[in-house]
Structure 1
Amino acid sequence: MPPSVSDGALAELADVVMRVAREIDPKGPQAPDIVPLTGTEALVMRWVHHNPGASPSAVARATALQRSNCSVALRSLVAKGLIERQTAPDDARVTRLHPTALADESVQKLHAYWAGRLRRALDGDEAGVQAAAALLARIEEELRHGGDPPPMSS
């Protein structure tokens, strides 16, 4: 990023993202009727929903979770009826993870909740929504694949 963007401006952007995330968190009083998840479960569920058929190892790598933590989350998601484990047709030693119909229904309800909250907040600003989504997707991609973060200064 060019040095013309100040640390203060970047910190404010991060802070705004965190505040918006809190406002659209589905655990509040207006929450949709969905299966409640921990943060780790939501992270794993999101990955499996976007990548059906992934292996548990792939999910752990992609989410940067330790395998043991990912396994705990997967067991919980299976118990909640949101993920099913299937044996790979070409190799019985390989497990593939798939979202269930309940997971798809919960994701649809969650997306409708988010859309409604943001629609009221943005009042039809389609260009702004597209620009913000593109910027945030670019930030996510770079943070995920752009290497190690700089050391924290004390």
Structure 2
Amino acid sequence: MQPVVSDGVLAAFADVVMRIAREIDPNGPHGLDIVPLTGTEALVMRWVHHNPGTSPSAVAEATALQRSNCSVALRSLVAKGMIERQTAPDDARAVRLLPTPLADRSVEKLHAYWAERLRSALDDDQKGFADAAELLIRVEDGLRRHPAAPVSD
């Protein structure tokens, strides 16, 4: 059975997603006044922000980072004031990770920046945007469920 969407269309989709990501990068040419984060730090911060109270091991697993790399990113985020480590109330050996108020403000600024950039790019014609966002969320979920396999020659 022939795939519904061709490899070329899927590759073009991925390529445009990457180009859009570069255009809305807050550290790019249109930079924001927020705490600068590396790609790994942003990945970890995003997970902690969406999952407050998570553990360091859960962050490493969810982001597919090696534990050592995740630990380095977490230490850096703590030093930058973006994440707070708390002892779990039910187990003094366990650590919970929480975004700080600084992180919350940075995320709010980032989301407002992204919304404005995308709104202005669409010249107020925002038809289909909710459907596109839903599609991208499904793609992300599917990519998490099906890790990358080596590409054959």
TM score, norm. by length of structure 2: 0.95
For residue 113 of structure 1, report the CA deviation from its aligned partner: 0.7
How far apart, CA to CA, are the structure 2 residues paired with 1:54 and 1:38?
Answer: 21
Secondary structure, counterpart of 2:127 in structure 1: helix
Secondary structure, counterpart of 1:148 in structure 2: coil
- Count the aligned residue pairs: 152
For residue 124 of structure 1, report the CA deviation from its aligned partner: 2.8
Does the alignment pair 1:113 with 2:113? yes
Does the alignment pair 1:32 with 2:27? no
Structure 2 residue ranges without an equivalent (≥5): none
1:50-104: CA deviations, max 9, x gaps? 0000000000000000000000000000000000000000100000000000000
Secondary structure, counterpart of 2:94 in structure 1: strand
Residue in 1 aligned with 2:11?
A: 11
How far apart, CA to CA, are the structure 2 residues paired with 1:113 and 1:148?
Answer: 31
For residue 123 of structure 1, report the CA deviation from its aligned partner: 2.5
Residue in 2 aligned with 1:53?
A: 53
How far apart, CA to CA, are the structure 2 residues paired with 1:6 and 1:91?
Answer: 51
Residue in 1 aligned with 2:147?
A: 148
How far apart, CA to CA, are the structure 1 residues paired with 2:120 and 2:56?
Answer: 38
Q: How many percent of aligned residue pairs carry the same amino acid? A: 74
Structure 1 residue ranges without an equivalent (≥5): none
For residue 27 of structure 1, report the CA deviation from its aligned partner: 1.0
Residue in 2 aligned with 1:42?
A: 42
Q: Contact 1:31/1:113 (CA < 8 Å) preserved in 2?
A: no
Higher mean alpha-carbon deviation, 80-89 vs 24-33, is at 24-33
Residue in 1 aligned with 2:75?
A: 75
How far apart, CA to CA, are the structure 2 residues paired with 1:109 and 1:41?
Answer: 17
Q: Which amino acid aligns with 1:70?
A: C
Q: Please, what is the CA RMSD of the aligned residues?
A: 1.1
How far apart, CA to CA, are the structure 1 residues paired with 2:33 and 2:148?
Answer: 37
Structure-2 change in CA distance of 1:82 and 1:148 (3 Å): closer
Secondary structure, counterpart of 1:153 in structure 2: coil
Q: Contact 2:22/2:28 (CA < 8 Å) preserved in 1?
A: no
Secondary structure, counterpart of 2:37 in structure 1: coil
TM score, norm. by length of structure 1: 0.95
